[in-house]
């Protein structure tokens, strides 16, 4: 994040615009709407801009900018001329005096940016691109405008009137957040939107009178194979309302960025022979946080019920009397094969698919080999990279063709996705050659041949 978004309170605060034309006028409109006192410094001034300056109780100074112009009492300065050298001089002078400064359409000479805004006062939403693409910011604003009801401003104002009352009744800030979330999910919001304020008052009073300390709950959420756009809507909603997020090694950073920003985040990732927290410890964390009244998101890569130990965790929650929800995720077999262009089933090549774990027990593969040697099925191995050579050998020993196609999909669905194709006879030797790293999914079967024709990603 290259910029830090803030919301400035500019009511009755002096702000300076350098420039008197239409560029300055556009910025002056925003400043005046925010309640600022707008001064303008320019040799000439547009008539509409002059009127706006006077309405804001500001002053017009009919002069060109000079480095000795007094700036110290201004909250911020905007250079809005059509002369690059003047805008640069304004920037350098403000920088020397630690004054917030913006040069219109000149990102290198900006200490702050003016974002694209959606005004639902007192609710204001801004979209910024660090000056790299203001047109894109405006397009996103347009998209958001169509999805955010105009009544949101009324809802924010109404809620503000009740804020101190709710704070006095519900002292714990975590509980207070849950109260507001539940209230906004109730008919209360629509009553405010429709100006039925008496009914809205009744509903919020009722909610306060019936308020009880909420019980903790655990959300067992599948985060999918890595691409954040593969999250389900329910997964995203629960991730953003959880008080605590307990996450695995396979949950990608972009997905973690979608969790509630102020949630407590606890890493319990497992790598081979390196468990940050043993499974028993994870189970205890889930139970303990839930019994503290927390909403806990147990975030797992892929799907929690496919080699994710989700069943073990909810058994523990059930035994402890902790409420829970399970949200399926796109498992790695489905996501990675799709992004690699390899259909797991195909009428001409595979009428069944089998998911297996490649983890070795005491260094020896423990798989039902005879059942796996079948021409028209696809085998998908999770966590099989370390034991890949032994697995390939065993399949060949039990009768599988040495030239059976195999694909390795490393870091599937992410920007770092890498796919290597070979055969049972040679795929293990390609791991080091192509620097394949975990997490890697192994796909064995004739369907792998289709990748050459169907690949579309990575």
Element (H, E) at 410: strand 405-410
131 part of a folded domain: no
CATH classification at residue 69: 3.40.50.720
Strand partners, 440: 410
Spatial separation of the C-alpha atoms in residues 235 and 223, rounded to whole Å:
7
Closest CA to 271 of 451, 402, 438: 438
Q: Is the dihedral of CA 368, 369, 375, 379 positive or negative?
A: positive
Last residue of a domain, one of 164, 189, 209: 209
Q: Are 358 and 394 in contact (CB under 8 A)?
A: no
- Do 59 and 99 have their domain in common? yes
* Mean of pLDDT values over 121-148: 89
* Mean of pLDDT values over 344-362: 86
Last residue of a domain, one of 167, 192, 209: 209
Percent of the chain scoring above 90 in pLDDT: 81
In the chain, how many domains are there?
4
- Do 347 and 442 have their domain in common? yes
- Do 306 and 357 have their domain in common? no
- Do 199 and 234 have their domain in common? no
179 part of a folded domain: yes
Q: Are 353 and 377 in contact (CB under 8 A)?
A: yes
Which are the catalytic amino acids? 248, 270
Closest CA to 151 of 190, 99, 106: 190
Peptide bond before residue 439 is cis, with ω within 30 degrees of 0? yes
- Do 22 and 108 have their domain in common? yes
Spatial separation of the C-alpha atoms in residues 337 and 188, rounded to whole Å:
45
CATH classification at residue 183: 1.10.8
362 pLDDT band, cuts 50/70/90, is low
Range of the domain at 38: 14-114
Burial label for 295, CB within 10 Å (0-12, 13-18, 19+), is buried
135 part of a folded domain: no
- Do 164 and 253 have their domain in common? no
Residues 6 or more apart whose CB falls under 8 angstroms from that of 217 comprise 290, 295, 296, 322, 323, 324, 325
122 part of a folded domain: no
Last residue of a domain, one of 186, 209, 232: 209
Tokens of 294: 């927390």
Q: Are 127 and 148 in contact (CB under 8 A)?
A: no
Tokens of 451: 């990748």
- Do 377 and 431 have their domain in common? yes
Q: 46-55, 265-274, 327-336: which range is least confident on average?
A: 265-274
Peptide bond before residue 122 is cis, with ω within 30 degrees of 0? yes
- Do 399 and 434 have their domain in common? yes
- Do 356 and 446 have their domain in common? yes
Q: Phi first, then psi: what are they for 54, rounded to 5°?
A: -65, -40
**pLDDT by residue (tens digit) across 166-190?**
999 999 988 999 999 999 999 999 9
Percent of the chain scoring above 70 in pLDDT: 97
CATH classification at residue 262: 3.40.1010.10
Spatial separation of the C-alpha atoms in residues 176 and 178, rounded to whole Å:
5
- Residue 361: per-residue pLDDT: 53
- Do 161 and 242 have their domain in common? no
The end-to-end CA distance of the chain, in Å, is 27
125 part of a folded domain: no
Q: Is the dihedral of CA 159, 164, 170, 171 positive or negative?
A: positive
**pLDDT by residue (tens digit) across 91-119?**
999 999 999 999 998 989 999 998 888 99
Mean residue pLDDT of the chain comes to: 93
* Mean of pLDDT values over 370-394: 92
133 part of a folded domain: no
Contacts 24+ apart (CB under 8 A), 86-93: 86/18, 87/18, 89/65, 90/18, 90/65, 93/67, 93/69
Q: Are 341 and 237 in contact (CB under 8 A)?
A: no
Strand partners, 77: 16, 101
- Do 293 and 347 have their domain in common? no
Tokens of 412: 């599937």
> Does residue 332 register a pLDDT over 80?
yes
123 part of a folded domain: no
134 part of a folded domain: no
457 pLDDT band, cuts 50/70/90, is confident
- Do 91 and 79 have their domain in common? yes
CATH classification at residue 424: 3.30.950.10
């Amino acid at each position: 994040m290259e910029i830090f978004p803030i919301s400035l309170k500019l009511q009755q605060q002096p702000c300076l615009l350098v420039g008197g034309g239409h560029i300055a006028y556009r910025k002056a409109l925003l400043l005046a709407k925010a309640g600022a006192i707008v001064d303008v410094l320019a040799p000439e001034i547009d008539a509409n801009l002059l009127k706006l300056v006077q309405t804001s109780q500001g002053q017009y100074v009919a002069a060109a900018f000079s480095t000795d112009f007094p700036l110290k009492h201004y909250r911020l300065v905007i250079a809005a001329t059509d002369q690059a050298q003047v805008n640069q001089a304004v920037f350098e002078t403000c920088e020397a005096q630690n004054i917030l400064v913006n040069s219109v359409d000149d990102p290198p000479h900006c200490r702050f940016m003016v974002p694209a805004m959606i005004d639902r006062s007192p609710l204001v939403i801004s979209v910024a691109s660090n000056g790299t693409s203001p047109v894109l910011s405006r397009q996103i604003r347009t998209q958001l405008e169509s999805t955010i009801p105009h009544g949101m401003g009324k809802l924010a104002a109404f809620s503000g009137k009740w804020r101190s009352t709710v704070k006095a009744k519900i002292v714990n800030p975590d509980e207070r957040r849950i109260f507001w979330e539940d209230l906004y999910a109730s008919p209360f919001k629509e009553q405010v939107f429709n100006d039925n304020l008496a009914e809205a008052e009744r509903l919020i009073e009722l909610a306060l009178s019936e308020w009880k300390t909420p019980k903790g709950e655990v959300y067992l959420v599948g985060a999918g194979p890595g691409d954040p756009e593969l999250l389900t809507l329910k997964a995203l909603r629960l991730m953003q309302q959880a008080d605590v997020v307990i996450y695995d090694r396979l949950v990608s950073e972009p997905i973690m960025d979608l969790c509630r920003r102020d949630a407590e985040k606890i890493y319990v990732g497992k790598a081979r022979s390196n468990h940050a927290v043993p499974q028993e410890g994870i189970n205890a964390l889930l139970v303990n946080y839930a019994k503290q009244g927390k909403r806990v998101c147990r975030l797992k890569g892929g799907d929690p019920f496919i080699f994710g130990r989700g069943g073990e965790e909810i058994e523990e929650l059930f035994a402890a009397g902790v409420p829970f929800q399970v949200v399926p995720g796109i498992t790695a077999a489905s996501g990675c094969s799709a992004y690699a262009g390899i259909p797991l089933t195909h009428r001409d090549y595979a009428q069944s698919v089998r998911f297996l774990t490649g983890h070795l027990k005491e260094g020896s593969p423990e798989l039902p080999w005879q059942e796996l040697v079948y021409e028209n099925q696809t085998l998908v191995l999770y966590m099989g990279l370390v034991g890949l050579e032994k697995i390939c050998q065993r399949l060949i020993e039990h009768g599988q063709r040495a030239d059976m196609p195999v694909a390795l999909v490393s870091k599937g669905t992410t920007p770092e996705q890498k796919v290597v194709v070979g055969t049972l006879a040679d795929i293990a030797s390609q791991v080091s050659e192509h620097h394949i790293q975990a997490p890697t999914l192994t796909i064995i079967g004739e369907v792998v041949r289709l990748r050459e024709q169907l690949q579309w990603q990575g």
